[in-house]
Amino acid sequence: MEDFLARVVTVEWHFQHDAGRPFAETSAELAARHPEHADLIAQFGPRFGETIPGPIPGSPEIVETLDAAGVPLFAITNFSAEFWAPFRADHAALFDRFRDILVSGEEKMVKPDPAIFDLAMRRFGLAPGEALFVDDRAENVAAGEAAGLIGHVFRDAPTLRADLVARGLIAA
């Protein structure tokens, strides 16, 4: 199975969904290239939620703390439009705390494309320097900073919490 994942279901293949390509298209193309794995490829879409290991320890609590403190929460996520709705529904208690969530697959643009940050700033009604952007990829943070966001490269929840306290967004 690991060989199948490494050779066939690649990050590059999956990233097409985040950019807005429908699973039916990408899976048909992949199955045509790897007919011996067509059944497994077909299962990826319906079972996508199983590929996500769960929240990073301490992160949901940070979101809850920020929300309780009245900090407006917005998100930009690289995620398939098709896979987003069921994933969001399964984690409604977390995502309902956000005022708006920009989903790359719906917009057909992905981080770190500057256009997604420009859209987010307009859609969320943010001016340069008004919002902290947290992401685990340095290239995404750099692109967010270029668009006028204040950046934080996420490493772990305790480090983020300390930064939020230092910025006065939450109490120690």
Whether residue 133 has pLDDT greater than 80: yes
% residues pLDDT > 90 (the chain)? 84
Give backbone dihedrals phi and psi of 99, rounded to 5 degrees, phi first.
Answer: -70, -35
Run of H or E including 23: helix 23-33
103: exposed, middle or buried (Cβ count in 10 Å: 0-12, 13-18, 19+): buried
Q: What's the token pair of residue 153?
A: 């490269």
Cα(10)–Cα(26) distance, rounded to whole angstroms? 12
pLDDT of residue 6: 67
Q: pLDDT tens for residues 60-106?
A: 999 999 999 999 999 999 999 999 999 999 999 999 999 999 999 99
- In 5-117, the DSSP E strands lie at 74-77, 100-103
Q: What is the pLDDT of residues 42-53, one digit of tens each?
A: 998 999 888 898
In the predicted model, what is the mean pLDDT of residues 15-26?
95
Rounded distance, CA 155 to CA 124, Å? 25
